[in-house]
Structure 1
Amino acid sequence: MPRHARGFDTEHAWDYLTRRDRKLGAWMKRIGYIAPQPTWKKTFDPVDALARAILYQQLSGKAAATIVGRVETAIASARLHVDTLDRIDDAALRACGVSGNKTLALRDLAARERRGEIPTLRQMSTMHQDEIVAALVPVRGIGRWTVEMMLMFRLGRPDVLPIDDLGVRKGAQFVDRLDAMPTPKELAARGETWGPYRTYAAQYLWRIADAGIEAKTPTKRSQD
């Protein structure tokens, strides 16, 4: 099986996209070059990453970090995994500020890890990104967007376009000077132009959304 490298040549992606799409390219030149993500080369535990994603959902970063810190203290570990999560019962999780739904999601994640249903980092290296999505979205509390963020920012897959993300859609609206944000289906079609570097295009679309709003109300994204 072919192994997928973590990360890609962003200089080549820059040259490719600025040549292929003049409208996007003009914005890219205005914003400037985006360097490779440092997280692409860092090892991580997918279960820990998913558990943190669950805990961060629908909360501000500060509030979520506080809750995660309490959980880490309660389990006496900086790693959220099936073995460490077993150290804390549901009542103790609630005392840390974890909601009932998130507690159920963490228990489901741990149960699936015990059954070997969560791919390891090594296994993911030989899996197509669609296979990774299919393996992880059955976990309670984990949607396609969460897996796409892992694919983009942790695994460094080059061709991921989160078409449901409001920031990405808003950025595409500014690029094409549309009266309204494109629908996810319309964005998927538009994104064909950016393959095989849709991940890099999405990074610019987020920044374009913020730049286009300028000093007005910040763009509300699906992760907010």
Structure 2
Amino acid sequence: MNGISSCKTDRSLWIHQGCIDRDGFLNLVGSTIEQILSTKVATMIEKRLKTLCGGEITPETLSAHSPEEIKTIGVSMRKAKNLNYLAAHVTNEDLNTLTGKDDKEVYTWLTALPDIDEWTVHMFMIFHLNRLDILPVSDLTFRKSFDPVRPLWI
């Protein structure tokens, strides 16, 4: 895919360069951080997390840190605990098993994890499972992007 190497180092390039994330764990960590944050703030926090994890965010490097340590990168304690839980309980192998499941099964499996909501599941299905037929219609930014053409529908 176009720009795949740069996508691995800078998540903000994903959409702009048409990148698909091959690391399901990193996808969920990024989506968890990005919930209700601007792209600029999320990118800054993700860089801090990468530094905290010694340059690579994996289940092993993230679970080596307590929620208190994770909180120091600028996330809430709730989000820090959820990231720590994710690192301790989910592997890329677990996430790769979702490839063969239908959308409803993926949704059910992922939302059983703490802090994984509909938006996060949609982002995971789009950017990790390459399901391009997913529309995150509950996402406020997605909905606002249609404001200029909404009068044409009415």
TM over 0.5: yes
Offset, 1:95? 2.0
Aligned to 2:82: 105
1:175–1:54 Cα change, 3 Å: same
CA separation of 1:56 and 1:163: change in aligned 2, threshold 3 A: closer
Percent pairwise identity: 28
- How far apart are the structure 1 equivalents of 2:139 and 2:34? 17
- Tell me which residue corresponds to 2:18: 38
- Cα distance in 2 for partners of 1:126, 1:168 equals 27
After superposition, where does 1:111-150 map in structure 2 within 5 Å? 111-113=88-90, 119-121=94-96, 123-150=97-124
Query: TM-score by structure 1 length?
Result: 0.52
- Greater helix percent: which structure? 2
Q: Does structure 2 retain, via aligned residues, the 8 Å contact 1:152–1:160? A: yes
Per-residue displacement from partner, 1:64-95 (whole Å, max 9, x unpaired)? 2222212211220322x321112222232222
2:45 is matched with 67
Structure 1 residues 167, 68: CA separation in 2 closer, same or farther (over 3 Å shift)? closer
How does the TM-score come out when normalised to structure 2?
A: 0.72
1:118-137 CA distances to partner (integer Å, 9 max, x unpaired)? 7333x232111221111101
8 Å CA contact retained: 2:32, 2:115: yes
Alignment pair present for 1:174 and 2:150: yes
Q: Quote the RMSD (CA, aligned, Å).
A: 2.6
- Structure 1 residue 176 displacement after superposition: 5.3
**Which residue type is aligned with residue 174 of structure 1?**
R
2:66 pairs with one of 57, 75, 89: 89
Q: Deviations over 1:90-109 (max 9, x none)?
A: 23222221210111211221
5+ residue gaps, structure 2: 1-16
- On the 8 A contact 2:82/2:115 being kept in 1, the answer is yes
Shift in Å at residue 168 of structure 1? 4.6
Pairs aligned (count) = 136
